[in-house]
Amino acid sequence: MTKPNIKKNLLHAVKIILAAIVAIIIAELLHLQFAISAGIVAILSVAFTKRETIKTAVDRFLAFAVALLIAAICFYLIGFNSYGFFVYLILFIPICQFMGWNSAMAMDSVLISHFISLNNMEIPALTNEILLFVIGVGAGIIANLFMKRDLDYMRKVTHDTDELIKQALHRMSERIMDPNLPHYDGSCFITLENTIEEASALARLNYMNKLTATDKGDIEYIAMRERQSDTLREMYEHLSQIETVPVTAELLSSFFEKVAVDYSMDNTVEGLLSDFYELDGKMKEMPLPVKRKEFEDRARLFTVMRGLEKFLNIKKEYMQNKVK
């Protein structure tokens, strides 16, 4: 488990504990029966993000209203006993599954079971259970309002992603000129993909902790880097098969190094694409190789070039969409 995940889980645990304790204390101060249940409701109401907590609260409110209606019909027709509760479950559980209220089934049913102990559903009993529900869910919502977005760590993992891609480009520049480059085994892509996965998860978590904003900048940026990473992986597969140093290698190696140096979050890559197409034209004018092995390796380099073109166009497309 990574450091940010440990931190996130610990904070989530603390919020659950505090929400439950506060809910129970409030319920006891109001002299509600079954005050502990308010804490249980709070525990089940704290999600990992603000948006999830609000959505869960709304779903459970609707489910609880339906549960009260079904319980009233069952208990007054059959009795405040196990048989009435059985029929309640037969009706309520399928409705919850159909409506997607699965998280509400256990919590609402615990509250409904209290009516059997009270042996009635009159105003005082209804008020007691509704207050337990409101206090528990309210404590869960309030606990998550203090959930902060981890912007500092988001910037770090974004920077780490960019640096790993720059390193991959630099190593490709070296590999083009050296078929025997040591330790060129693709292991860097494992680190890159893990970093991108972590960054993507954090970007989504931060987004879900914004109740009203619709900016998906971090999510879209990491998605763009993920596409570029996949392209680099494809380029590596072709590059690792090259066994010679074709006459076009030096030009392409120098351009790879230029891309690595200029690589940054704000680079529109328009200049790099212009240089790329100029380089592409020069390489096409070079005489074709005579030896078969050099011909095959030069063809592989041509495929790598097309991958680099795709790599740059992914960033160009992202920058254009960002302006819109």
The whole-number pLDDT of residue 71 equals: 94
The whole-number pLDDT of residue 1 equals: 45
3-state secondary structure 30-65: CCCCCCHHHHHHHHCCCCCCHHHHHHHHHHHHHHHH
Closest alpha carbon to 15 in 152, 153, 142: 142
Distance, CA of 324 to CA of 303 (rounded, Å): 32
The whole-number pLDDT of residue 28 equals: 94
The whole-number pLDDT of residue 94 equals: 94
How many residues are recorded in the chain? Answer: 324
Distance, CA of 64 to CA of 16 (rounded, Å): 21
Helix/strand/coil for 182: coil
- The tens place of each residue's pLDDT in the chain, 324 residues long, gives 455 566 667 777 888 888 899 999 999 999 999 999 999 888 887 765 666 667 777 888 899 999 999 999 999 999 999 999 999 999 999 999 999 888 788 888 989 999 999 999 999 999 999 999 999 988 888 877 765 555 666 788 888 888 899 999 999 999 989 988 888 888 888 888 888 888 887 777 666 666 555 557 778 888 888 999 999 999 999 888 888 888 888 888 899 899 888 887 878 888 888 988 888 888 777 777 667 877 788 888 888 889 999 999 998 888 888 765
Helix/strand/coil for 267: coil
Residue whose entry in the numeric block shows the structure tokens 């440990």? 6
Burial grade of 95 (CB within 10 A; 0-12, 13-18, 19 or more): middle
Distance, CA of 124 to CA of 119 (rounded, Å): 12
The whole-number pLDDT of residue 210 equals: 63
What is the end-to-end Cα distance of the chain in Å, rounded?
38
Q: Which CATH superfamily is domain 151-323 in?
A: Putative aromatic acid exporter, C-terminal domain (1.20.120.940)
Distance, CA of 53 to CA of 57 (rounded, Å): 6
- 45-57 burial by CB neighbour count: b if 16+ within 10 A, else e? bbbbbbbebbebb
Domain range summary for the chain, segments of one domain joined by +: 3-145, 151-323
Helix/strand/coil for 244: coil
DSSP state of 265: T
CB 242 within 8 A of CB 301: yes
CB 269 within 8 A of CB 316: yes
CB 206 within 8 A of CB 154: yes
Query: Tokens at residue 77, please?
Result: 């027709």
Sequential DSSP letters for 154-171? HHHHHHHHHHHHHHHHHH
The whole-number pLDDT of residue 318 equals: 84
Cβ within 8 Å of residue 170, ≥6 positions away: 256, 257, 260
DSSP state of 103: G
